[in-house]
Amino acid sequence: MRRYFARKIIVYIIAFIVAVTVDWGVPRIMPGNPIQEFLSKFQLQPAAAKYDYGYFFKAFGFNHPLWQQYLNYWQAIFHWNLGISMYYYPTPVTTVLSQHILYTLALMVPAIVLAYFVGNRLGAMAARRTLLDNSVLPSSYVVSGTPYQWMALMLAFLIGGVWRILPESGAFSFSEIPSWNWTFVWSLVDHWFLPFLSLFLIQVGGWAIGMRNLIIYELESDYAHWLQALGSPPRLVRRYAYRNAVLPQLSGLALALGTFLAGQIVTEIVFDYPGLGTVFFTAITNSDVFLMQGAFLLVIMGVLIANFVIDIVYVLVDPRTRVSMMGGEA
């Protein structure tokens, strides 16, 4: 068991190193000059721009040799100093990120967790039940093939624009001043619902399809036949099948995180929801290098932490690994 976690952690550490290297390297390898972009915002006289360029070149540490820049970068990361945002100048990147991360988490975590549970239940119910199987599943295929941004556009258009049931952009109404009173909280929930629904709807179908197939596999296995032969009620057999089928679904969750992240980014853009996706987008469109690097770093860390959490849950859910952890034979 220790070996299992040791291997996982080695992978995560290497992934983190690679990601940080990419984060550091891409702006340096790619064409374009971030300082020039930054200075062009101020519309300076040529002479002043040249002077400032030299100043910022030094201030950002570009005058050091590459290896030293790389080490400095690592040092800065460990001090949680990600530079200053050019777009939100002079706010530090870490401040910008911490202002927005809660919105992303509030949207992403419930959408993923709820979709996972509801989808699994739905799929388990559909397996070997013709009526459900022929109604829920076919539509799931099309829904899970839907691009996130389109689902978001459709919901924003129909529910937000045409029927005007729910607001279609922002995290709270512009007429509200952020404070902890009921109208403001209601405004938050109100604005949260559509982006949440959009993310939830697309994800739920995929889980249902996967679970349905897994349950069918499990119901065909020897232990299920054996239980049936013993005269166990179908409900009991299904319950065992479900518990076995959950394991691969859980490792599927780790694999799917990247896609969910992509969905999260485009959904936030459509609903103008002030999460990390929107920050990332703002950074990209305004070539705000430091903000982009910071958002990238935070996203990587989030995904690695989520992966690790899934690993732990896997151990808790799978009795075999649990037994071997306590020294027994699995």
Partner 1 sequence: MTEVDPHAQADAAGSKAPETTPHHLIEHKTAPLDPAVGEVTAARPGSHAMAVVPGAVLAVGPSVRHRHEFMYFALRSKKLLVGGSVLLLFVLFAVFGPFFVHFSPFAMSATAASKPPSTQHWLGTTYFGEDVFAQLVYGTRSSFQVGLLGGGFAVILGMVIGFVAGYRGGLVDEALNLVTNVVICIPAIAVMLMVGSYLQGMSLLVEAGLIGLFAWPWAARAIRAQTFTLKSRDFVGLARLSGEGSGKIIAREIAPNMSSYLMLTFILLFGGAILTASFIDFVGLGPSATVTLGTMMNSSFFYNALQLHVWWWFIPPGAVIACIVGGLYLTNAGLDEVFNPKLRAL
Binding mask 62-81 for partner 1 (x = CB under 8 A): --------------------
Closest contact distance (angstroms) between CB of 185 and partner 1 is 27
Q: Does 319 bind partner 1 (CB under 8 A)?
A: no
Pull the structure tokens for residue 143: 């829904």
Q: 201, 214, 217, 209: which is closest to 141 by C-alpha?
A: 209
Which residue from 49, 216, 310, 325 is in contact with partner 1, where contact means CB under 8 A? 216
Structure-derived torsion over alpha carbons of residues 184, 169, 274, 191, reported in degrees to the nearest 10: 40
Q: Can residue 251 be called a binding residue for partner 1 (CB under 8 A)?
A: yes
- Minimal distance, residue 267 CB to partner 1, in Å: 10
Query: Any contact of residue 108 with partner 1 (CB under 8 A)?
Result: no
Choose between 171 and 202: whose C-beta lies nearer to partner 1. 202
Length, in residues, of the chain: 330
Between 35 and 151, CB nearer to partner 1: 151
- Establish if 279 lies at the interface with partner 1 (CB under 8 A): no
Q: From the CB of 117, what's the least distance to partner 1, in Å? A: 15
Q: Which long-range contacts (CB under 8 A, 24 or more apart) does 104-108 make?
A: 104/264, 104/268, 104/275, 104/276, 104/277, 106/192, 107/192, 107/195, 107/196, 107/199, 107/264, 107/267, 107/268, 107/273, 107/275, 108/199, 108/260, 108/264, 108/275
Closest CA to 275 of 299, 255, 257: 299
Interface residue with partner 1 among 132, 262, 310, 325 (CB under 8 A) is 262
CA 257 to chain centre: 6
Contact between 59 and partner 1 per CB under 8 A: no
Is 120 an interacting residue with respect to partner 1 (CB under 8 A)? Answer: no
3-class secondary structure, 64: coil
47, 131, 142, 229: which one binds partner 1 (CB under 8 A): 142
Q: Which stretch binds partner 1 (CB under 8 A): 53-61, 86-94, 106-114, 135-143?
A: 135-143
Tell me: does residue 19 bind partner 1 (CB under 8 A).
Answer: yes
Q: Are 248 and 76 in contact, with CB atoms under 8 Å apart?
A: no
Q: Output the CA–CA distances (angstroms, integers) from residue 80 to 97, 252, 292, in the order listed.
A: 12, 32, 15
Q: Is 15 in the site for partner 1 (CB under 8 A)?
A: yes
Residues 144-173 that bind partner 1 (CB under 8 A): 144-151, 153-154, 156-157, 161-162, 168
| 311 counts as binding partner 1 under rule CB under 8 A | no
CA distances to 89, 91, 140 from 95, in Å: 11, 7, 40
- Reading the block at residue 167, the tokens are 């607001």
Query: Rule CB under 8 A: is residue 188 a binding residue for partner 1?
Result: no
Site stretch for partner 1 (CB under 8 A), options 75-83, 93-101, 235-243, 244-252: 244-252
Nearer to partner 1 by C-beta: 161 or 178? 161
Span from 61-69, 97-105, 216-224, 309-317 in contact with partner 1 (CB under 8 A): 216-224
Using CB under 8 A, pick the residue from 30, 47, 229, 326 that binds partner 1: 30
Rg of the chain (C-alpha set): 25
SS3 84: strand
